């Protein structure tokens, strides 16, 4: 069964999409079978994977509203090396339409049941808001990855987000956990970066990934070529950092599995 991870933070521009695209590509490059799902009507993750959001025949909108199955909407082997269910502006309408549908919080979860065993990882990119789309992503997932910039207001938003994850955990999805906190656009020269970083470590302990994503222009340029940084410039600091993150994530997962097996024995 795939490990399903939601990349979320209701704050805009913190590196959610960059993380989703580059982590998916890094996991795919290490021979993991990866499905990425774009749950943002902006469609940035779709475009950044080399798929034109304007010409999608089927998208996550159709999956959520029952127009097609997940398998039918999957675009196999994108130029970025993973499979994709894309999104575009159609998805804006889904929020309203979902309100009328049965089990509206579980539409994505139900759709993924039939294809989850074909993948090692399913990564879900989210819009910078907390709405029924995000609730669908959280209700489907095993874990949440929270990318954040080490700046003053970042901490303020994060407690609201943690509250939401806890609420989803108690009401809709008891297996949901915070998988990790990822420091993005990291600039060690700034003293505030250090302060915020220390606060994060205090609060979240080893949930904070040791890997940090540096500010790197290649990460910002790559999407305009429809490629993850790993394919645009594989030696760039950004690409190397996301490969390291994929390594840390899979090591952690192996450790969790071993601990679980010990408990079960």
Q: Please, which residue, 115 or 154, has the CB nearer to ligand ATP?
A: 154
Site residues (CB under 5 A) for Mg ion, limited to 32-71: 44
Residue nearest to Mg ion (CB): 17
Q: Near ligand ATP by CB under 6 A, which window of 9-17, 30-38, 163-171, 192-200? A: 9-17
Shortest separation between residue 130's beta carbon and ligand ATP, angstroms: 12
Out of 90, 106, 116, 128, which residue is the one contacting ligand ATP (CB under 6 A)? 128
149 binds ligand ATP (CB under 6 A): no
Shortest separation between residue 23's beta carbon and ligand ATP, angstroms: 11
Shortest separation between residue 170's beta carbon and ligand ATP, angstroms: 26
Site residues (CB under 6 A) for ligand ATP, limited to 87-116: none
12 binds ligand ATP (CB under 6 A): yes
The number of residues that bind Mg ion (CB under 5 A) is 3
Using alpha carbons, select from 103, 174, 168, 162 the residue that is nearest to residue 135.
Answer: 168
Cβ neighbors of 155 (< 8 A, separation 6 or more) are 196, 199, 200
Give the 3-state DSSP-derived string for the chain, with helices as H, strands as E and coil as C.
CCEEEEECCCCCCCCHHHHHHHHHHHHHHCCCCEEEEECCCCCHHHHHCCCCHHHCCCCHHHHHCCCCCHHHHCECCCCCCCEEECCCCCHHHHHHHHHCCCCHHHHHHHHHCCCHHHCCEEEEECCCCCCHHHHHHHHHCCEEEEEEECCHHHHHHHHHHHHHHHHHHHHCCCCCEEEEEEEECECCCCHHHHHHHHHHHHHHHHHECCCCCECCHHHHHHHHHCCCHHHHCCCCHHHHHHHHHHHHHHHHHHHHHHHHHHHHC
18 binds ligand ATP (CB under 6 A): yes
Site residues (CB under 6 A) for ligand ATP, limited to 195-234: 213, 215-216, 219-220, 223
Out of 11, 16, 109, 183, which residue is the one contacting Mg ion (CB under 5 A)? 16
17 binds Mg ion (CB under 5 A): yes
Shortest separation between residue 244's beta carbon and ligand ATP, angstroms: 13
Site residues (CB under 6 A) for ligand ATP, limited to 32-71: 40, 44
Binding site for ligand ATP (CB under 6 A): 12-18, 40, 44, 128, 184-185, 213, 215-216, 219-220, 223, 238
């Amino acid at each position: 069964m795939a490990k399903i991870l939601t990349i979320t933070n209701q704050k805009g521009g913190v590196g959610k999409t960059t993380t989703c695209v580059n982590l998916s590509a890094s996991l795919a490059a290490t021979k993991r079978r990866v499905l990425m799902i774009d749950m943002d009507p902006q469609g940035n993750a779709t475009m950044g994977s080399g798929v034109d959001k304007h010409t999608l025949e089927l998208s996550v909108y159709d999956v959520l509203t029952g127009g097609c199955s997940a398998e039918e909407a999957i675009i196999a082997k994108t130029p970025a090396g993973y499979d994709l269910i894309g999104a575009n502006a159609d998805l804006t309408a889904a929020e309203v339409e979902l309100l009328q549908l049965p089990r509206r919080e579980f539409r994505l979860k139900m759709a993924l049941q039939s294809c989850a065993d074909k993948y090692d990882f399913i990564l879900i990119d989210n819009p910078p808001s907390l709405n029924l789309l995000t609730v669908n992503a959280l209700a489907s997932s095993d874990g949440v990855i929270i990318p954040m910039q080490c700046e003053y207001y970042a901490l303020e938003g994060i407690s609201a987000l943690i509250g939401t994850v806890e609420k989803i955990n108690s009401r809709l999805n008891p297996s949901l956990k915070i998988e990790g906190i990822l420091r993005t656009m990291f600039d060690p020269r700034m003293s505030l970066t250090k302060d915020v970083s220390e606060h994060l470590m205090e609060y979240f302990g080893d949930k904070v990934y040791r890997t940090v994503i540096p500010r790197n222009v290649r990460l910002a340029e790559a999407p305009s070529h429809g490629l993850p940084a790993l394919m645009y410039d594989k030696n760039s600091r950004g690409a190397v950092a996301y490969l390291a993150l994929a390594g840390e994530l899979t090591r952690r997962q192996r450790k969790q599995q071993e601990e679980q097996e010990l408990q079960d024995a």
